[in-house]
Structure 1
């Protein structure tokens, strides 16, 4: 499968407020006010759920951690893979006693890929990929119990294992891709599969020919999976509902062997937005509702700017454009119904005249039914580490675009996650030079309401990962005083008490 992207330019920038460039106008966007108010969680409500992994010799930022969180049957399910190569499927109800292993997998040789991964929940079944000595890495299914967890089908007979991707639940069926490599020619082809959770009902839906590349970008829109296919005739957008008849090419997006490639895909409500990078370095921004008639090019940006999609608020798609020559980033809004984009805000970049300092957006998060976009920005350097990293929020207006915290992570081996629970509560990680290192932080969307959640590892950094809300808890992984990555959680509240200031 092809790997696409705009190219990762590490970045960050200094404190301050920006505005539109002199030649750019700014209009005011409106949106509904969210009524879902949550309090900033505190240290008392934040604790380790259970010690799961043993101490590790890995650096904390690279240590194994509980990962691949999903909610299934009212409980949290996740993967645990240790440095020795053992893997396990775990579940948790949020208590220490209720956090237990469902199925353990022994060490398998010949692969550095985590044994258990890709957890995907359907209403009554949980699918994941795991490796054992008899089958290699294959597709497994579980009803949530140890006895009800089994290998679903040996897609590549024997111990060799299968390369699977895009595991996606569509109502009561799972769809996924299998990438098969010819060892003699090193050529590969992608196969689309579907499963109802039984061996007989796990079937190949379509075989894409050798030389056809299926993009690593894919996303669920309604009851279908959208994906991109590129071959000698060009690049096309496809959709599938898991059946042969429902697997169709929606539209040819570009033509010829040197066609454009998809660089971003963002699902927002009932629409999906994607960008195409042309051989000319132009960037096309598209929208689709999952039909051919509803797949429309919104705008083409020239080769002098990098483009990054944020999300849709109201009737506008918000995105950033960054000049390759000036190294300044601008927030833009693009009408979803069609029309030209409007510049809203110019982000400060105090390093713009100091050599390589290209800013780009990294993590983006919008709460369900949210009216604000939380996102992180990196400012690059001539080395692997960024100059600066920052957390921002926008409601789509210049006055509502605010710097919340800097820096986040300044490591080139660990990127700060951003996870919005509501318009007034988002989780992320940030760095403190003189005290706590990199620890979990929370924000209510204002600079004054942005603070550290807890100093989980006082003598080091905890490098939090994988924030995930389930009910009244937000779970995450963190490296703590056990000298290993463990499962942590914090409890959400809607009855607020003012914090005590020391």
Structure 2
């Protein structure tokens, strides 16, 4: 590792030698050497009072990028709703007062692409246009005044990342709402294709990245609203398939990518709006199943949960049935028609392979349920208000093996957590009400909530339980991937990888929660610093078991892991996998 970062530090050499002496507990050694600020489980902490006193900062549109960077909109201190950034639940920094005077630019549509974050905002001068930030106040700027005349703005919507550029819907005032592309510079921002000639525009929507392309819904005025695709070039922007042939529109909607396949609703003409899927080719764009032969099933609320895909659809008897797609096909999770177990499912969230959702159990009202995708595994978790009165859980957010949500116990709408058991479903942070905008960032749960002392402000739970999630992207022609199981204290976790480049040696590296990326020899980004080498791994597939100490003092420790692939006989170039964030918990 010397040729990469110079001679190993004293701490690095010690961590490596101690890890070899104590191979069963390298994380304990690592934590003892480098330490971290740990927190009590599920204790709530005020992150920022944007509008001190009883004024409300109303933080909203929370998005986590680059592992632990929280981007959001908030107001306070004479500043209207403007963009902020926070690192790992730290104090938010105002990126720019785009519309001064307390009016606010109301930033939204945050999307990370490469090392930049794009969003739309209205500065009050040129209207709602495309903005970009590198995460610093100095690096936050207007990309281009696309609709150059007046204050109408180009009405930016549906921003999607494609390589190191973004494609999006914008109205330049001449061609109408069409597909645009930008690399973050004024000169590099242009109309990608005038799909529908004239001022009406094709109005592209539902932009979703899939296998190096972006698929979307658009109306060219000839085939009607259909499924389109772009590879980022004008010639490569074309109709993917005329699902409802002729001038009739199939109106693709609810586009969602699950395990490399696009799922969506569309109306082919011979049925109502039903479930379709696409692999990005015309031949591979097909009707999956007509779920409602007497009308439209309107599939929606697609949610990935491990290998399963859950969604809501209407059938002939009920509006709002929960369906699952897995290796055995597509089916309703519970046959309401025969069993009348529950109706009107919604607010889906996955937690470690278990789907939590709210549903009307008739006798229980709208309460929290869970399912593993089988009839037997679909049960009411807890009736927060016993009887037919509903607690109406909303804002469901999966965090490790738990789900956090807003629930009503008949007195207040507070923050609740559930591990899927009745006993493990309880209200936390009793001084907070109306929690919303929940987002896992780093290893912390961030959210907005109301308190009598601060009104609506930004809060955090520093140790929400064991968590694991990927961040960053592979850097190699082979696209080496890396995953991990939940790091539960006292258990053995598993790291695994695939597509490691042959002829290379893989090093599984561990660090404290994400650092700023470092450019490595060859140009790839190191998402961790090589403070601890857990071990060497072979290409292309590998698995490593790591036992974790049963030490609750490590609860909340946030670590990051990445695999670096080094060519045998040379340290250049270094190829890298994605990163994995690990929040240790009980």
Q: TM-score, normalised by structure 1?
A: 0.72
Shift of 1:199: 1.0
Change in Cα spacing, 1:272 to 1:392, as seen in structure 2 (3 Å) is: farther
In the alignment of these two chains, the number of paired residues is 420
2:444 paired residue number: 473
Question: Which of the pair has the greater relative contact order for Cα pairs under 8 Å at 6+ separation?
Answer: 1
Q: Deviations over 1:258-311 (max 9, x none)?
A: 533334322212112112246787232111122223212111122357454444
Match of 2:141 in 1: 150
Structure 1 pair 133–323 and aligned structure 2 pair: CA distance change class (3 A): closer
* Structure 2 contact 194–201 (Cα < 8 Å) conserved: no
Residue 181 of structure 2 is matched in structure 1 by: 194
Give the distance between the partners of 2:77 and 2:336, measured in 1 at CA.
41
Give the structure with the higher percent helix: 2
Aligned to 1:138: 129
Deviation at 1:399, TM superposition (A): 1.7
Q: Is residue 393–residue 407 contact of structure 2 (8 Å, CA) maintained in 1?
A: no
User: Alpha-carbon deviations, 1:347-402, whole Å to 9, x = none?
Assistant: 599999xxxxx9434322335xx52222333699xxxxxx9433322211112112
1:416 aligns with 2:414: no
- Determine the C-alpha separation between the residues in 1 that align with 2:340 and 2:287: 34
Partner residue in 2 for 1:37? none
Question: What SS does the corresponding residue of 1:249 show, helix, strand or coil?
Answer: strand
Alignment of 1:288-437 (within 5 A): 288-300=278-290, 301-303=292-294, 306-309=297-300, 310-311=302-303, 317-323=309-315, 326-327=317-318, 330-334=321-325, 341-347=330-336, 359-366=343-350, 370-377=352-359, 388-406=365-383, 416-422=394-400, 424-434=401-411, 437=412
Match of 1:166 in 2: 158
Kept in 1: contact 2:227–2:242 (CA 8 A): yes
Contact 1:70 1:119 (C-alpha < 8 Å) held by counterparts = no
Alignment counterpart, residue 250 of structure 1, candidates 235, 240, 249: 240
Structure 1's 470 and 244: CA in aligned 2 closer, same or farther, altered over 3 A? same
Q: Which residue of 1 aligns with 2:228?
A: 238
Q: Which residue of 1 is the match for residue 212 of structure 2?
A: 223
Deviations 1:82-105 (A, max 9, x none): 699823221212455x32212113
Residue 422 of structure 2 is matched in structure 1 by 447
Partner residue in 2 for 1:438? 413
Distance in structure 2 (CA, Å) of the matches to 1:484 and 1:164: 31
State the distance in 2 between where 1:431 and 1:83 align: 32
Confirm whether residue 86 of structure 1 aligns to residue 80 of structure 2. Answer: yes
Shift of 1:148: 1.6
Distance (Å, rounded) in 1 between the aligned partners of 2:430 and 2:167: 41
The structural deviation recorded for 1:318 is 3.9
Would you say 1:103 and 2:96 are equivalent positions? yes
Larger radius of gyration: 2
Partner of 1:118: 109
- The alpha carbon displacement at 1:472 in A equals 1.3
C-alpha separation between the residues in 1 aligned to 2:205 and 2:177?
11
Alignment counterpart, residue 463 of structure 1, candidates 412, 434, 447: 434
Structure 2 SS opposite 1:259:
coil
- State the 1:449 CA deviation: 1.9
Change (3 A) 1:304 1:168: closer
**1-structure distance, mates of 2:124, 2:347:** 37
Secondary structure at the residue paired with 1:167? strand
Structure 1, gaps ≥5 residues long: 1-40, 183-187, 353-357, 381-386, 498-502
Find the counterpart in structure 1 of residue 61 from structure 2: 67
1:176 corresponds to 2:168: yes
Helix, strand or coil for the counterpart of 1:163? coil
Q: Indicate the residue corresponding to 1:11 in structure 2.
A: none
Partner Cα separation in structure 2 for residue 252 and residue 443 of structure 1: 45
Q: d(CA) in 2 for partners of 1:160 and 1:46?
A: 42
- Residues 276 and 288 of structure 2 are in contact (CA less than 8 Å); yes or no, is this contact kept in structure 1? yes
Q: CA RMSD in A?
A: 3.9
Instruction: Give the CA deviation at 1:55.
Output: 6.1
- Contact 2:177-2:200 within 8 A present in 1 as well: no
1:485 matched residue in structure 2: 456
1:396-420 deviation digits (Å, cap 9, x = unpaired): 1112112224569x999x9821211
Contact 2:147 2:173 in 1 (8 A): no
- The CA distance in 2 between the partners of 1:313 and 1:124, in whole Å, is 28
Could you say if the C-alpha distance between residues 456 and 269 of structure 1 is closer, same or farther in structure 2, counting changes exceeding 3 Å? farther
**Are residues 1:283 and 2:265 paired?**
no
| Inter-CA distance 153–256: structure 2 relative to 1 (3 Å threshold) | same
Residue 201 of structure 1 aligns to a residue in which SS? coil
1:246 Cα deviation from its structure 2 partner: 3.2
Structure 1 equivalent of residue 530 of structure 2: none
